[in-house]
Chains A and B, each alone.
Chain A
Amino acid sequence: MNFIEEIKKYLVSFWQPVSAVIALGVLSVYYFGITGTYWAVTGEFTRWGGHALQFFGVDISEWGYFEIMHMDGNIFTRVDGVMIIGMFAGVMAAALWGNNVKWRLPASKIRIYQALIGGIIAGFGARPGMGCNLASLFTGIPQFSAHAWFFTLAMMVGVYLGVKVTQLPFFQSKVKLQKLSCGIETQSNKSRDEGKVKRFFSIGTFVFLAMILWAMYLIFVANSQKLGAAMLFGGAFGLVIAKAQICFTSAFRDIFTTGRSQMARAIVIGMIVSSIGIFSYIMMGVAPKIMWAGPNAIMGGMLFGFGIIIAGACECGWMYRAVEGQIHFWIVGIGNVIGSTLLAFVWDDISVPLATSWPKINLLESFGNYGGLFFNYLLLFLLFLLVLKLEKNYLKKSKGKTNHAK
């Protein structure tokens, strides 16, 4: 096999999720160092909701939430915006290279409602928490912002409740186990159309190269280095989450559904790696992103956790699934934008008691630089233990059930 074929094989196959999450942790540190902001997607989706309202003639200049979100410019001129364009290019390339694009229609009507309602709840919940499981978890905790801890723990409670609801018989899959008569032919590979696979691969390469050229144009011609760099980072984030099928929702959900904690543990390790990186940039003078640590983070986290389980995906997970042709997740994405816009609508009535009257707690200020660093690591260690304990409990319980059934 020649060199090109080797590379191709690598681009076609799925990647190891555990090392991918750790790589995302490292990438997000450099992203912060270069752009001054953390890897986040929901904030930009909220701005899209604001632009949609403007398009329909709604005057949002008085809406406090959009003021916090800085609506200036558009998707092409904001760091978060171009990063998401890069991410879309990355997830598209990954799906096309892997022959993973196919129209997938929801199996039942229940799933459509689940996607929409769950998407709205998750979109609504993420905003008072000032982020999803990126900005208020994976990239928020390494910023040493106490709100991210409140959000994360509350989210786990929401996830647990969501699992309890989706395990009700009403939501269960109606698929029946089929008994096959012996000697039946497996339909292996029959539906594989080699011409289509090749075409998809070329389109994927085209999309990815076009994104890189665009980023280079931004850096070297338009003199917008930050935007160009953000786009390249977005491309890398997208490529990695889609190739390794990283799903922050399943990471916490499946501790309770099937007793698998591999991804949740990987996410904690990713944060252990990125905390020290972010710390080094903060020590060099980059300002960390700290949010209000009040009921907003707790209520938002619970709603968010519950919503993502009902919907089946969070704000970054639906992106790669949507380009893979999973209609279910287009609906989740639309639900997210509706939910976050609804929150923006009620924000001015609830913001003072829920969020803005509460302090923005920076652990590095509360406990001193190194005190805060160690405190964050202590909490990450405890979170790791909690995840392990929950997995153990589940497997113990399910083993008891299996033996009982026998």
Chain B
Amino acid sequence: MQNNTQAPTPTHRLDMHGEPCPYPAIKTLEALRELEDDDILEVISDCPQSINNISIDVKNHGFKVIHIDTSTPSVRYFVKR
């Protein structure tokens, strides 16, 4: 899942710069509940620990992780309903 697919074009974005975990994961789940089925949400988090929570929480709650980009300190998650 990490870096081997092309980043999709998002329809929505959550820029969580500076917010420590667990807030990026909580916000991601909140946002996903508001979105439509075709929407793609990009979450940007510079809390490196989010790598162990956003990707798993999204799946646990029945949503999908499409792509994760860890090439910079600001990790980018592309998720959808």
Contact = CB atoms under 8 A, between A and B. Distances in A.
Q: Summarize B's interface: helix, strand, loop or mixed.
A: mixed
Given A184-B9, A189-B69, A111 B42 contact: no
Contact of B20 (A99, A111, A180, A186): A111
A219 B7 CA distance: 49
Nearest to A105: B18
B42 to A, nearest CB: 7
Contacts of B9: 182-184, 186
Contacts of B76: 188
Contacts of A259: 57, 60-61
Interface residues of A, number: 51
Interface in B20-70: 20-27, 29, 31, 33-34, 41-42, 46-49, 51-53, 56-57, 60-61, 69-70
Contact of A107 (B19, B22, B60): B19
A177 B41 CA distance: 9
Interface of A: 13-14, 17, 98-102, 104-107, 111, 172-173, 175, 177-180, 182-184, 186, 188-189, 191-192, 244-245, 247, 250, 253-254, 257-260, 262-263, 312-313, 321, 324, 326, 328-329, 395, 398, 402, 405
11 contacts: A105-B18, A172-B23, A173-B19, A175-B23, A183-B9, A189-B69, A191-B74, A254-B25, A258-B22, A259-B60, A263-B52
Interface of B: 2, 7, 9-27, 29, 31, 33-34, 41-42, 46-49, 51-53, 56-57, 60-61, 69-74, 76
When A and B form their complex, which 7 residue pairs have the shortest distance between CB atoms, in order from nearest? A107-B18, A102-B73, A173-B23, A258-B57, A312-B20, A245-B49, A178-B13
